[in-house]
């Protein structure tokens, strides 16, 4: 099962002891799972974080696919000049 890693302390604080592990599927499904297990976490990630899947940064891309062997990393959303 894909393990989510992140340098964001806010995500860790919200998750508490809950391991950041989700089933394979889409980002949307993963966020639903996290939200169900840890209310507020999925919503926080959806609003504030970008999701790098296998090195490719996705923003607001809830349809993106996470496979069993995907590397999934949460980073703060990126804007720009």
| In the complex, minimum distance from the CB of residue 59 to other proteins, in angstroms, rounded to a whole number | 6
Q: Are strands 49-53 and 72-76 parallel, antiparallel or unpaired?
A: antiparallel
Residue span 34-73 as binding mask against other proteins, x where in contact by CB under 8 A, dash where not: -------------xx---x-xxxxxxxx--x------x-x
Tokens 């302390």 label which residue?
Answer: 9
CA distances from 16 to 19, 26, 80 (A): 8, 23, 31
Q: What is the contact surface with other proteins in residues (CB under 8 A)?
A: 5-10, 13, 47-48, 52, 54-61, 64, 71, 73, 75-81
């Amino acid at each position: 099962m894909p393990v989510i890693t992140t340098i964001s302390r806010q995500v860790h604080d919200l998750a508490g002891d809950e391991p950041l592990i989700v089933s394979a599927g889409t980002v949307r499904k993963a966020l639903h799972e996290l939200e169900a297990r840890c209310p507020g976490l999925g919503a926080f990630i959806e609003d504030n974080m970008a999701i790098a899947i296998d090195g490719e940064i996705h923003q607001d891309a809830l349809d993106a696919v996470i496979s069993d062997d995907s590397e999934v990393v949460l980073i703060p959303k990126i804007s720009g000049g």
